[in-house]
Amino acid sequence: MVEPTSVRVIAGYDGSPSATAAIETGAKLFPGAHAWITHMWTPPFASGEIRRRLWRGTDHLNEFAAAIEREGQFEADRVAAVGTTLARAAGWDAEPLVERSYGGEGLQLTQLADKLRPDVVLVGSRGLGGAVAVLGSVSDMVVHYSPVPVLVSPHPLLIAEHAALAGGPAVVGWDGSDGARTALAAVERLLPHRDRLLVAVGDGTADEPATAGRELVRLPAGRGASARAVADVLIGHARERSAALVVVGSRGRSAIREILLGSVAMATLHHAHRPVLVVPGNRSGNG
């Protein structure tokens, strides 16, 4: 199963194990993609050991600041180069992209996405339960504010979850809304050769014609129709069907989508052990 090579990805990379695993995940889902391996660094950046080695006393403060700046830029370039090497080894047409930041790396990454208009932004998440640690992190900011779809890759994946990346279907949360249709369109564009399992949760009457590569499944929500209950059904069905990823749409029509992301999308991000693609509802991400 070979995906098209036209997908463009911004991959946030900080050298951490979760960021490294995210590149591997992204390469499995979007083989042959063009990727910007993006590292954000905040001057002045240098370890305590480097600071001690550079320190020459208060009479040389300007030289000290300039040296830290040089060392920080060198280290940032090195981190991005390592990530680029990993991405190329995984089969991506990758290039490093180093951006200076003065805090708010997640928001700056979304601004970069607005400028470069990639097809998807890829970020890793740390946490014991899928993306449980996404709140308050760079990943959280990117998911909330990105103008294009965001793939959040949890770390670590079990063997079965990792094996599903290569050819497993995409489970798409489906309620017949514009947001769900936008999410489905994004999957069909980004992963056209993947099977799509549309999962309608609860007692709704959402319908979608059965076409090649699509399957509509109706499942009860259980425990009521809470966002967590819906997310649990999506996650459980993804596990049963050995899905590569779970896809959820957001219905927000403004830059701030906290209300929506406090519901099904955020519940899915918090508890899924598979990659989750969040597709913004106010823009399709088509560029």
Q: What is the pTM of this model?
A: 0.83
Pair of tokens at residue 223: 């425990």
Distances (CA, A) of 276 to 1, 84, 164, 258, 272: 20, 23, 13, 17, 7
β-pairing, 196-201 with 214-219?
parallel
SS3 percent helix, strand, coil of the chain, rounded to 5, is: 40, 20, 40
Write down the pLDDT at residue 37. Answer: 97
Write down the pLDDT at residue 161. Answer: 96
**Taking a C-beta distance cutoff of 8 angstroms, is the pair 1, 193 a contact?**
yes
Weakly modelled stretches of the chain, pLDDT under 50: 1-5, 127-136, 252-262, 283-287
Write down the pLDDT at residue 204. Answer: 54
Write down the pLDDT at residue 135. Answer: 41
Write down the pLDDT at residue 101. Answer: 78
Write down the pLDDT at residue 213. Answer: 60
What residue ranges do the domains of the chain occupy?
Answer: 8-45+74-279
Domain at 8-45+74-279, CATH from 3.40.30.10, 3.40.50.2300, 3.60.20.10, 3.40.50.12370: 3.40.50.12370
Write down the pLDDT at residue 258. Answer: 39
